[in-house]
Amino acid sequence: MEQGENKVKEIAGRLKNKVAIVTGAGSGIGRASAILFAKEGAKVVVADYEENGGKGTVSIIRKAKGNAVFVKTDVSSPSDARKVVDAAVKNYGKLDILHNNAGIVRWGNAVECTEDDWDRVIDINLKGAWLCSKHAIPEMVKQKGGSIVNTASIAGCVAFAKIAAYCASKGGLVELTKSMALDFAPQKIRVNAICPGVIRTGMTKGILDDKKTMQGMLQATVIGRLGEPEDIAYAALYLASDEASFVTGTTIVVDGGWTVQ
């Protein structure tokens, strides 16, 4: 055997024998993450409250001979958060990876933001990640380990105008990531966050359709292009995999250089 050949074999199927839940997997970053996880050998629970998107992701994975199941889930509902973790165990016998990715944005500064918008953003982006983790962690403890990956945002590290609730939710998620990393390190559960910059998904389509805004975003992204969902999925894959076994409580910024300036 040539030097290094063994390593190559080990790397093929980076999530082999793992079971993963990806929330918000019906589109954008979550869909890319679910597809990549499945491609790397994971059995994937595709969780989304949009049935068409979720089933679409499962169909793409199955066509490529991957293994996935759809579970209609509103992450802000305590019973749904419980249900999606139970579904992973029922379908695949265990849970190794939770990618908390479902999220929404509502526009407005702190004065303009309505109470309904504030509650919905915090309920999905922050409380949803907590609820799913709350139910996932005991299953991971049974497995003697696991990895939680939270999709935060650079809006959780630096401020963006007129999305006050969103910035608060993502800043909270970065801190929740550290708190859970600290509390569950003894049980070998790693918890990390990814802070994406501007990624071309359904969430940003509206603003990127405006040519002037698009130009501004491109200029702020020093690498000279906007992000694609796969750019984030690759970071999630690393954090989810055993390659990141010494990495916990951190945030990986994947923003094309937006925040270096």
Ligand X SMILES: NC(=O)c1ccc[n+]([C@@H]2O[C@H](COP(=O)([O-])OP(=O)(O)OC[C@H]3O[C@@H](n4cnc5c(N)ncnc54)[C@H](O)[C@@H]3O)[C@@H](O)[C@H]2O)c1
Contact 30, 58 (CB under 8 A): no
CB of 123 to ligand X, least distance (A): 8
Sort strands 43-48 and 67-72 into parallel, antiparallel or unpaired: parallel
Among 46, 53, 171, 181, interactor with ligand X by CB under 6 A: 53
Token readout for 83 is: 């249900």
Active-site residue flag, 92: no
196 binds ligand X (CB under 6 A): yes
Burial of 64 (0-12, 13-18, 19+ CB in 10 A): exposed
Please, what's the b/e burial string for 201-213 (b: 16 or more CB within 10 A of its CB; e: otherwise)?
bebbeeebeeeee
Per CB under 6 A, 139 contacts ligand X: no
CA distance 71 to 224: 37
> Which CB sits closer to ligand X, 26 or 172?
26
Site membership for ligand X, residue 235 (CB under 6 A) = no
Q: Tell whether residue 33 is a contact of ligand X (CB under 6 A).
A: no
Q: What is the DSSP string of 8-68?
A: HHHHSSTTTT-EEEEETTTSHHHHHHHHHHHHTT-EEEEEES-HHHHHHHHHHHHHTT-EE
Residue with Cβ nearer ligand X (54 or 66): 54
User: Is position 30 an interface residue for ligand X (rule: CB under 6 A)?
Assistant: yes
Q: Does 50 bind ligand X (CB under 6 A)?
A: yes
- Considering only 38-46, 73-81, 110-118, 177-185, which stretch makes contact with ligand X by CB under 6 A? 73-81
Regarding 202 and contact with ligand X (CB under 6 A), the answer is yes
Given 49, 70, 118, 258, the residue binding ligand X (CB under 6 A): 49
- Within residues 74-93, the interface with ligand X by CB under 6 A covers 74-76
Q: Is 102 in the site for ligand X (CB under 6 A)?
A: yes
Round to whole Å and give the CA distance between 54 and 24: 8
Task: Please tell me whether residue 204 binds ligand X under the rule CB under 6 A.
Answer: yes
- Identify the helix (H) or strand (E) that includes residue 148: strand 146-151
Catalytic residue, chosen from 49, 166, 234, 238, is: 166
Cα gap 102→27, rounded to integer Å = 10
The reply to whether 191 sits near ligand X by the rule CB under 6 A is no
Q: Which of 71, 97, 124, 233 binds ligand X (CB under 6 A)?
A: 124
The runs of H, that is alpha helices, within the chain are 5-11, 28-39, 51-63, 78-92, 115-121, 128-142, 164-184, 202-208, 211-220, 229-240
**Site size with ligand X, rule: CB under 6 A:** 31
Residue 49 or 92 having the CB closest to ligand X? 49
Nearer to ligand X, 141 or 207 (CB): 207
Cβ proximity to ligand X, 93 vs 202, nearer residue? 202
Question: Residues in the site for ligand X, rule: CB under 6 A?
Answer: 23-24, 26-30, 48-50, 53, 73-76, 101-104, 124-125, 128, 151, 153, 196, 198-199, 201-204
Would you name the residues annotated as active-site residues? Answer: 166
